[in-house]
């Protein structure tokens, strides 16, 4: 993979939307920790033809009251296949995912589609970049979509469980903010700190003004973290923003393994050790 395999610019998307041929399937993943349901934001303004995708119900499974599975467990293969079908996506569909929050939510949809053996790209800069490039938005609930009958290929991206994360011999990157990694604060999960041996790699540092920083800057960042010359595992609070690091590294041609339960799952297990500090 390279940058153009995983990211699409607003100018390129506008050109694709103006083609006479088939237009991309657009998935709108408006999501933040403070406001996980972005349905009303989508209804107020979105790219024409887009479908709203809900993080908690479409890009995650319920944890069945098992906190060690984390706050955003991966959906089952069967459930996600049905979800992909409702989006009208098949193996030949060009898929573009976007949000309005530096691609932090869009990256999760991108990762899941990769995990399912599908291809997708993230709109670099999201909704704001689209508008800045001259794109027009629309309002409403979105148009109905003809479902597909696609069969996905699950497990096309590697994942880690807690035991594998504990025994990981490569570099393990934590995408949360530095103060959460160091254990100075923990607003969401049961214990503060990080997985012993992990390195702090806040996902927010992959972007500037909502867009991914240039390839040279990304390469330097991840080289300094030791992520270009050994196996890489990624995690965060609940397996969402870790996908942002996975996306950034994929743009450099680096494959990663996701620990989906992430800190929310790890910290819920009293048998798992916790490290603090930098």
Q: Is 243 a catalytic residue?
A: no
Distance between CA 133 and CA 15 in Å, rounded?
A: 11
- Tokens 């940058």 label which residue? 3
Q: Bin 71: left if φ > 0, else alpha if -120 < ψ < 50, else beta.
A: alpha
Give the burial string for 172-194 (b: 16+ CB within 10 Å, else e). Answer: bbbbbbeebbbbeebeebeebbb
Q: Which of 236, 248, 252, 261 is catalytic?
A: 236
- Which helix or strand (DSSP H or E) is residue 199 part of? strand 199-200
Q: Give the chain's count of helices (H) and strands (E).
A: 12, 11
Helix (H, G, I), strand (E, B) or coil at 257: strand
Name the residue among 121, 273, 104 with its Cα closest to residue 198: 273
Count of CB atoms within 10 A of residue 2's CB? Answer: 11
241 touches 142 (CB < 8 A): no
Decide the pairing of beta strands 207-208 and 211-212.
Answer: antiparallel
Strand partners, 187: none
Q: Could you list the active site residues?
A: 236
């Amino acid at each position: 993979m390279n940058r153009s395999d995983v990211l699409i610019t607003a100018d390129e998307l506008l050109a694709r939307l103006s083609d006479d041929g088939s237009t991309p399937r657009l998935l709108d993943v408006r999501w933040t920790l403070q406001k996980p349901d972005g349905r009303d934001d989508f209804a107020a303004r979105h790219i024409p033809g887009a479908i709203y995708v809900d993080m908690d119900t479409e890009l995650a499974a319920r944890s069945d009251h098992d906190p060690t599975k984390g706050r955003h467990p991966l959906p089952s293969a069967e459930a996600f296949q049905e979800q992909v079908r409702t989006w009208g996506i098949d193996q030949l569909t060009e898929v573009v995912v976007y949000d309005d929050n530096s691609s932090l939510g869009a990256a999760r949809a991108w990762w899941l589609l990769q995990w399912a053996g599908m291809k997708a790209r993230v709109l670099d800069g999201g909704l704001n970049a689209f508008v800045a490039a001259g794109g027009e938005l629309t309002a409403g609930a979105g148009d109905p979509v003809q479902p597909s009958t696609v069969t996905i290929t699950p497990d096309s991206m590697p994942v880690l469980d807690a035991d594998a994360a504990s025994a990981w011999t490569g570099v393990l990157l934590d995408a949360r903010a530095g103060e959460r990694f160091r254990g100075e604060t923990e607003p969401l999960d049961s214990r503060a700190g990080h997985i012993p041996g992990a390195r702090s790699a806040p996902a927010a540092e992959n972007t500037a003004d909502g867009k991914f920083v240039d390839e040279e800057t990304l390469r330097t960042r991840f080289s300094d973290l030791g992520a270009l010359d050994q196996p890489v595992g990624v995690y965060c609070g609940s397996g969402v923003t870790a996908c942002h690091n996975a996306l950034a590294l994929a743009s450099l041609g680096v494959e990663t393994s996701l620990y989906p339960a992430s800190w929310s799952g790890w910290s819920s297990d009293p048998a798992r050790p916790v490290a603090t500090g930098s």
